Structure 1
Amino acid sequence: MKEKSLPSWTWQQRSLALLSVWRPAALRSNWRGVTICSVIALAATFVSTTYGGPQLLYALFFGLAFHFLSQDALCLPGIQFCSQTLLRTGVALLGARITFDQIAHIGVLPLLLVLLAVVSTIACGGLVAHVLGRPRSEGLLSGGAVAICGASAALAISAVLPRTRENEQFTLLTVVGVTALSTAAMIVYPLLVHVLALGHTAAGIFLGGTIHDVAQVVGAGYLISPHTGEIAAIVKLTRVAMLVPVVIAVSLLFRTRMQAEATRMPLVPVFLVGFALMMLANSLHLIPPAVDEGLNALSRACLVLAIAALGVKTSFQALASLGWKPVLMLVSETVWIAALVLLALAWMGW
């Protein structure tokens, strides 16, 4: 039996809801769940800072251990607040990391390569999902995560998909998969660069155009040289900028499909408007460097809290029930984008 998705709100309703969560009554109902997610996020941050490793992945696994709290009526409102409102807030603040100058700096050919890689990888995700008999939404989610910016893209795309338990479970599995693959790529891809004897610029385009998460891109790039690290970061941020049109396209796709079920979805999600405004403000140098650093830290904190909350809402059994097909989807999309970028660099003579 197909699980019904929850009704979606208009952007005006979402805006009012975002403001209403700060009312005293809402704070009283949310503080328990928010506290739980904060403790999980702090523990994940401590382990990541002290011993290394991906912060978001730790937050997810620690959250899974507290799944029993998802049935607690006192904690559930705050957990929902972290998994929905803070998730959208964190994605919106990601825009403060990007400027139009960074995108223009990489040149026309690398920009076209990034566009091709993003679009074709999402299409690859849809095709693989169809072949494996999985829902189209899973192909778009996993393809978008691999094509754009890993866990952050998975969370952003999931925010405009129908809110079902299956989608939440697949989102968490995608976060685990892209984080693990991105960490492996950070180690393997620099070795591949040396084997293929790529120049520093070509290496930066390859690393920035293929590795899923921003932190791993920077780490892999600077393992080779400062120039490679700089190019890789700029190319990667160009992929992050693709988050806006991709999420809008996914939102429109499901908005059209859901009209038959008399549900309403916003034409442009509010958090994407925030993302675009933050990107515009950063491009116009309206955000001081100190404030920009604070916004980046706040964005990361919101996403860690959201991942912790999503972990609490999901069980190991639910993740295991998804089987091997989602893993194959992620691996296939990762191999596709890496092969495409390498072939394009060879064709362009880089």
Structure 2
Amino acid sequence: MLTPLKTETRRIFPGLAMAGLVAMAAQFLSDHYGAPAMLMAILLGIAFQFLSEEPRTAPGIGMASRSILRIGVALLGVRISLDVVLALGAQTLLLTIAGVFVTIGFALAIGRFFGRSFGFALLSGGSVAICGASAAMAIASVLPRRTDSDRDLSFTVMCITVMSTLAMIVYPMIAGGLGLTGHQTGIFLGATIHDVAQVVGAGYSVSEDTGDLATVIKLIRVSMLGLVVLGASLALRRQSSQEGGKDSGKRPPLLPGFVIAFLIIAGLNSAHLIPDTLRDLANVLSRWALLTAIAAVGMRTSIPGLLKVGGSAIALIVTETLFLMGFILGGLYLMG
């Protein structure tokens, strides 16, 4: 019984170890030079793209880009708590949730005008609306696998991470220029900036209270991840059925296992059944799993392939970002 396990471990270990080393290098650069860890992971991964074609490392890299990714997404559930949601007013909560779903709907509506597929529009729109790179990887895991799947994911993560970093710098200045109060600024930053780390950086650069509120608002968006991925899975199954199974990708499961795990963990955390020590450990494991997975995705992506995505994809992501910003500012104006 142990022999197959030992054989499988030997098969995947070299590639998994390489993805882990790239993730560690990315975190080192982030800790010492302030560079976004996710962006560094994918860029370093691309530099080692040749390893995904090496028989000794390819299986482990493939496993990291899929299974390790789903583990990381499932563990994101420890960031969600019902207490956090209920602490917000009804108007703020409604605006935050509406921003998520309206932005995704907007992305799907305009994607074809930019020459992008339904899958890419969903991938980019979900990334902008929910939680940046983490959302991109979660949504990508339920999209039908195609030859350009890793390319699209890498491209989206890079664009989203760069834009999130720019937003961390520019959005507080926009809030100040518009005369937003500290409370309004916290809502604005938390409801519009893509990645959690950049929300934290932007919020606490204004004030501690603004940072606290921005982080809470951001976690509300993260809590939408399971619901959106489930909805995407159902929509893709329906689309596959209508096409008579002719899609080259595999039909998504009705309810992905990692989404079930995400919801269960979030529920346990909301019920205060997860000890603080275990929650902190799960949070760290989630971050490292996602970092390792995105490094592996980069290792499966070629630069010539990225160049084929085109400027229209960048334009689509920028348009989605501006739409979300305008929607939230409009909502804040109506809320007074």
Structure 2 counterpart SS, 1:74: coil
Q: Quick one: which of 76, 90, 98 aligns to 1:116?
A: 98
Q: Which moved more, 1:287-296 or 1:255-264?
A: 255-264
| Structure 2 counterpart of 1:343 | 330
| Structure 2 counterpart of 1:233 | 215
Q: Quick one: which of 280, 285, 290 aligns to 1:293?
A: 280
**Equivalences for 1:59-138 in 2 at 5 Å?**
59-138=41-120
**Equivalences for 1:36-47 in 2 at 5 Å?**
36-47=18-29
Moved over 2 A (4+): 262-265
Structure 1 residue 315: Cα displacement: 0.7
| Structure 2 counterpart of 1:222 | 204
- Kindly indicate whether residue 262 of structure 2 is the aligned counterpart of residue 275 of structure 1: yes
- Kindly indicate whether residue 305 of structure 2 is the aligned counterpart of residue 318 of structure 1: yes
User: Is the contact between residue 82 and residue 306 of structure 1 (CA under 8 Å) also seen in structure 2?
Assistant: yes
Structure 1 counterpart SS, 2:310: coil
- Kindly indicate whether residue 248 of structure 2 is the aligned counterpart of residue 261 of structure 1: no
State the alpha-carbon separation in 2 of the partners of residues 320 and 250 from structure 1: 27
Q: Which moved more, 1:287-296 or 1:146-155?
A: 287-296
Structure 1 residue 23: Cα displacement: 2.3
Structure 1 counterpart SS, 2:329: helix
State the alpha-carbon separation in 2 of the partners of residues 90 and 110 from structure 1: 28
Structure 1 residue 340: Cα displacement: 0.6
- AA of the residue aligned to 1:302: A
- AA of the residue aligned to 1:40: V
Q: Quick one: which of 138, 144, 147 aligns to 1:156?
A: 138
Structure 1 counterpart SS, 2:148: helix
State the alpha-carbon separation in 2 of the partners of residues 38 and 167 from structure 1: 21
- AA of the residue aligned to 1:157: I
- Give the TM-score normalised by structure 2: 0.96
Structure 2 counterpart SS, 1:23: helix
User: Is the contact between residue 106 and residue 231 of structure 1 (CA under 8 Å) also seen in structure 2?
Assistant: no
- AA of the residue aligned to 2:334: W
> Cα deviation per residue 1:6-27 (whole Å; 9 max; x = unaligned)?
xxxxxxxxxxxxxx9x922211
- AA of the residue aligned to 2:60: G
- AA of the residue aligned to 1:261: G
State the alpha-carbon separation in 2 of the partners of residues 68 and 268 from structure 1: 34
| Structure 2 counterpart of 1:49 | 31
State the alpha-carbon separation in 2 of the partners of residues 166 and 236 from structure 1: 30
- AA of the residue aligned to 2:271: L
Structure 1 counterpart SS, 2:59: helix
Q: Quick one: which of 155, 163, 167 aligns to 1:185?
A: 167
- AA of the residue aligned to 2:245: E
Q: What's the RMSD between the two structures over aligned residues? A: 1.3
| Structure 1 counterpart of 2:121 | 139
Structure 2 counterpart SS, 1:207: helix
- Give the TM-score normalised by structure 1: 0.92
| Structure 1 counterpart of 2:17 | 35
> Cα deviation per residue 1:121-145 (whole Å; 9 max; x = unaligned)?
1112112211112111111110000
State the alpha-carbon separation in 1 of the partners of residues 216 and 197 from structure 2: 12
Structure 1 residue 286: Cα displacement: 1.3
> Cα deviation per residue 1:70-117 (whole Å; 9 max; x = unaligned)?
111111110011000000000000000110110111121111111211
Structure 1's unaligned 5+ residue stretches are 1-19
- Kindly indicate whether residue 325 of structure 2 is the aligned counterpart of residue 333 of structure 1: no
Structure 2 counterpart SS, 1:165: coil
| Structure 2 counterpart of 1:17 | none
Structure 2's unaligned 5+ residue stretches are none
